[in-house]
Every structure is written in C-alpha cells, then in structure tokens.
Copies of this chain bind each other. A is one copy, B any other.
C-alpha cells in the first residue's frame, strides 16, 4: 500500500508518522513524501515521517494507491487536478483542507464529477482532520496528533463506495474518529466551531490598543491565542467559507446582544450559566 503525502509539514508529517509501517487490508503502508525542497524532505525522512521522497509530483502520484494532499487550502484543488491524470486506476486522492465545498466545486468545475471513477480512473474524496496548531513545520509533527481527534470525510452522492471506504480506513489507522457528512454541512459546522473563532481572535487583538495589553490577564491571552495562527492560511480559509462564517457571525451577534440586553444580575447569570454548563461538556467530549 503506497501512500503519497504531498506536502510534509505539520499535518503531512504527522500523517506519515501515524501510518508508516502500519497495515491497511493486510498490506503494509509505505509513505512517499512529495515536495519541492530536498532539505525539508530529508528532514521528514530523518524524523521518520516518510520512507522515501521525490521532487517529481507526477511520479510520486503515479505509484500511489492513495494520495494525501497536505497543502494550504488554495493549493489543494489545482494540485488534485494536476495529478489526477497520472494516478493509476482505482487510486484515491484526499486532502486535509479546513474548507471543503469550495475545493469540491473547483475540482468538479475543472475536471468533471470526481466522486465517480469514469472508466475506472482515480477519484477524489475530501477530508478534514480537526487537529493541528499554529505550528507548521514537520519539526512539530507527531505520530499521535490524530489519536482521538475527529476527521470529517465528505463524500457526495456520487462518490465511489470503495474510495470512501479506503479514505476512512486511512484515517482510522491514524487513530482518529471518523465522521461522514456533506461538504456543505462540514463547512457550516466548521464556520461556527473554528473559522468564526479565528476571525474573533484576530479582531479582538486588533480592537485593543497595544499599550493596553499590560492590562490583559490570562483570559485575554487564551481568548486570542489563535490570533497567532498563520495569516495567509487563515485568509484563504475565511475567504473560501465566507458565506457560512457570516451566518455563524450573525448567530454569535444575537448571543452577544442577549448578554448586553439582560437587565438584572439574575437574568444575565442565567445566560452565562447555560454557557458554562455547555462548555463543561466540551471539556469531556473533545480530546
């Protein structure tokens, strides 16, 4: 089972470490790293993230049973389209992008419906592992990054069953809990749980004068930690899922208004209390 990992950063490197040497359907996994920098690929090799590497994306893809595109959101669709013609029949491509609808639409527009395998060709099925951090380098990659983490797989109605099964098996092999839903549903959920919170963290930092940071305690620090995330990457994500983020922002805005309009301590404490209770459940249900 040859798996090509295109892009061996934090996520690609961690996928490689999690899968290397394991088996899927009795076949031992071998990881081929694909990238542009021999230095970075050698580092990934030394750190145990890959078994071998190539700078030739077409050759790397041609030999693979599965391809994982671990690149920034805006590079996923172009890369999938570029390598599709070179994949062997029955091979599957997936990705790790934090938005899905936009990527699926770009791929469909440029190369027809990829959920099917026309003439036994390769097919694309979207994935999004909800794991990672502000760090981006393979230096921070960890084989247990996905253990217990949630991975969303987003087939559409016409997706090939075998391809979806293989993608799910790959993620389960990393130790992740796999959920299946449509790309649109994924984007709506992630707008609320990830994309809007990032926009809020960035906006909150920008709304406070730098000189007043001395009056910020640990609460402000936690609330804005993700404003240290990669700006280019998050600019892409926010633009790609703008419509759903605006819907989540409207829901958030209604909740802020409820807090601001509460007239008595009792009424306001009730609103805050319901949040505290919900938040406690989060502590238990998410790793």
Report which A residues bind B (CB closer than 8 A): 74, 130-133, 149-150, 152, 179, 189-190, 192-194, 196-210, 212-229, 231-232, 234-236, 238-239, 242, 245-246, 248-249, 251-252, 254-256, 258-260, 262, 264-266, 268-276, 278-283, 285-286
A193/B208 contact (C-beta < 8 A), A133-B218, A223-B222 known? yes
| Consensus secondary structure, chain A interface | helix
Please give the distance in Å from A145's CB to the nearest CB on chain B.
11
Q: Are A260 and B239 within 8 A (Cβ)?
A: no
- Are B204 and A216 in contact, CB atoms less than 8 angstroms apart? no
- CA A259 – CA B257 in complex, angstroms? 20
User: Contacts of A223 on B, CB cut-off 8 Å?
Assistant: 197, 200-201, 222-226
B193 to A217, Cβ gap below 8 A?
yes
Given A225-B222, A245-B260, A269-B235, the answer on whether A150 and B214 have CB atoms closer than 8 Å is: yes
User: Across the interface, do A198 and B227 meet the contact criterion of CB distance under 8 Å?
Assistant: no
Chain B residue with Cβ nearest A224: B279
Instruction: Given contact pairs A231-B272, A235-B269, A235-B272, enumerate 14 new A-B contacts (beta carbons under 8 Å).
Output: A131-B217, A179-B214, A202-B271, A202-B276, A203-B252, A203-B275, A206-B278, A219-B226, A223-B225, A224-B279, A227-B275, A227-B276, A231-B276, A235-B265
